[in-house]
Amino acid sequence: MKPSTIAIDGPAASGKSTIGYHLSRYLAYLYLDTGVLYRAVTWAALDREIPIADEAAITQLAERLHIDVTPPTEVDGRQYTVRVEGCDITWAIRTPEVDAAVSPVSAYPGVREALTRRMREIAALGRVVMVGRDIGTVVIPNADLKLYVVASTEARAHRRQLERQTKGEHAEYEAVLANLQQRDQIDSSRAAAPLKAAPDAILFDNTDLTIEEMLKRAEKLVDDLDPNECM
């Protein structure tokens, strides 16, 4: 018996999304990178020129915004398609501007409450791999398998820099590193659902692993899970 719900948490650029997407393909499960929901709200706020510091306005936006996440609709390297009010913003939510604003937005309790409700509705259907920062601790604490994915800050900064350069964007390593350090501090110290490992999560450090090694290890964790734990 395979785990029906898999929760994967970890800091930015740790590899959790790569692992989550691979496992969803390996198991033929739904893949939900919950960070895209927070990024979608952030993008919408910036697009509507709503001040990121206006917690009440951002919360109201999260409560009424129609966000749709589906399997890929374009063959351009995307793992899913994200639409807000029918508009495809899959790549728009990956800009430096959204990167710089998403942590404050995701720290607002009202925003987290609105989006967590939607995540739980999806998780209740089962056969899902859900990736984020509080999945195993808050969203689905009873998940069959929980992974907490980490890598050194330096390794994560190199990965994010390469990702940006691959897309043709200019990215200075020091700036990327500083942004990740700031996001880590905000995510781990926020009052609402701070970033941390669930007590029963498996620590998955991939600092020195190739992508192939990382994915094989993730597959083995799924295959070796005690069937009695998948209840």
The pLDDT tens digits of the residues spanning 102-154 come to 989 988 999 999 999 989 988 998 999 999 999 999 999 999 999 999 999 99
CATH number, position 81:
3.40.50.300
User: Each residue of 48-64: pLDDT tens digit?
Assistant: 999 999 999 999 999 99
**Dist CA 197 CA 208 (whole Å):** 20
Residue 145 located in a structural domain: yes
Confidence bin at 230 (pLDDT 50/70/90): low
**Would you state the pLDDT for residue 227?**
64
**Would you state the pLDDT for residue 68?**
86
Residue 230 located in a structural domain: no
Residue 144 located in a structural domain: yes
Domain that holds residue 82: 5-215
**Would you state the pLDDT for residue 1?**
78
160-to-14, 98, 149, 172 alpha-carbon distances in Å: 9, 14, 16, 10
**Would you state the pLDDT for residue 103?**
87
Residue 222 located in a structural domain: no
Residue 226 located in a structural domain: no
**Would you state the pLDDT for residue 9?**
97
pTM, entire model: 0.81
Average pLDDT over residues 93-98: 94
**Would you state the pLDDT for residue 228?**
65
- Number of domains present in the structure of the chain: 1
**Would you state the pLDDT for residue 60?**
98
Instruction: Determine which of 115-129, 193-207, 216-230 has the lowest per-residue pLDDT on average.
Output: 216-230
Residue 225 located in a structural domain: no
Residue 70 located in a structural domain: yes
Residue 164 located in a structural domain: yes
Average pLDDT over residues 211-228: 90
Average pLDDT over residues 157-174: 91
